[in-house]
Amino acid sequence: MEGLQAAGRRSLVDEAIEQLREQLAAGAWPVGSRIPTEHELAERLRVGRNTVREAIRVLVHAGMLVSRQGEGTFVRSTSDPASVLRGVQRSGVRDVLEVRAALETEAARLAAERHTPDDLARMRAALAREAEVMAAHPERAGREATVEHDLEFHTAMVEAAHNPALTEVYRYFGASVRESMRAAFGDHEMPEVAIGTHAALVDAIESGDPERAEAACRALLAEPTAAVEQLLAEIAARK
């Protein structure tokens, strides 16, 4: 394996992180293997061990590495989750909504089977906060303010599926959903949150019927999807 380039002086930790990330992506150390010691990496990078230690800490937090007490640091993944998120952020709003639909409809099915009374209470509380904001601020600012409460509602619904992996993926994805919607609508009005379809989804989950919950979730997501399609058509017509 070729030696690592010497890290620059301006941002030693950032340079070390980037070079280690590149080596991981290139397969220099296979998944499951132990990476060189801090001392070895410090010599290759020509930086101090503290710099290497901090770079490794960042990559552990990112999920690319895992440290095992008394054994060393091992490769967990050669893919950087941050690059995945950047790819999502570069995607169009239609693409984001399609992935959202895939995640949420499956979550709704599972939530119908696994929800607890606390899950239902959280969803209804988030929905009540949405309704309060909309009633107090019916203008555009009110619609934008409900975005946060709407994300709270949908996150609570996904968490009701009691699938930790699904929850983490959705949390990772949720910020991109919000930003994509805001970026897409820009100076246009955000679509109004339909309280009725949200309440119908909670009722469907409470019923314990997965098919009904999935259908209710699709009906809920059809409204923002239609609003986005209309906006995209208007933009295309002006070109």
- Residue 55: name the closest of 69, 44, 41 by CA: 41
DSSP classification of residue 34: B
Token pair 């009906």: residue: 219
What's the CA gap between 157 and 108, in Å, rounded? 7
What's the CA gap between 164 and 74, in Å, rounded? 23
Q: Which residues pair with 65 in a beta bridge?
A: 75
Q: What is the mean pLDDT of residues 68-74?
A: 90
| Cβ pair 96, 176 in contact under 8 A | yes
φ, ψ for residue 66, nearest 5 deg? -140, 130
The pair of three-digit structure tokens given for residue 216, joined into one six-digit string: 């209710």
> Coil, strand or helix: which one is 161?
coil
What's the CA gap between 166 and 159, in Å, rounded? 8
Break the chain into its structural domains and give their ranges: 12-79, 83-238
| pLDDT tier at 227, thresholds 50, 70, 90 | confident
Sign of CA dihedral 148, 149, 150, 154: positive
| Cβ pair 63, 169 in contact under 8 A | no
36-67 residue pLDDT tens: 999 999 999 888 999 999 999 989 888 889 99
CATH, domain 83-238, list 3.40.462.10, 1.20.120.530, 2.60.40.10, 1.10.390.10: 1.20.120.530
What's the CA gap between 198 and 189, in Å, rounded? 20
Mean pLDDT in the chain?
Answer: 83
What's the CA gap between 70 and 92, in Å, rounded? 46
Q: At 88, which helix (H) or strand (E)?
A: helix 81-89
Q: Answer yes or no: is pLDDT of 80 > 60.
A: yes
Query: Would the pTM count as exceeding 0.75?
Result: no
Predicted local confidence at residue 142, as pLDDT:
46
82-134 residue pLDDT tens: 666 666 666 677 888 888 899 999 999 999 999 999 999 999 999 998 888 87
| Cβ pair 201, 108 in contact under 8 A | yes
- Residue 160: name the closest of 212, 117, 195, 219 by CA: 117
What's the CA gap between 95 and 176, in Å, rounded? 11
What's the CA gap between 148 and 124, in Å, rounded? 15
CATH for the stretch 12-79: 1.10.10.10
What's the CA gap between 131 and 234, in Å, rounded? 29
Token pair 């030696």: residue: 3
Q: Answer yes or no: is pLDDT of 9 > 50.
A: no
91-95, 147-151, 186-190: least confident range = 186-190
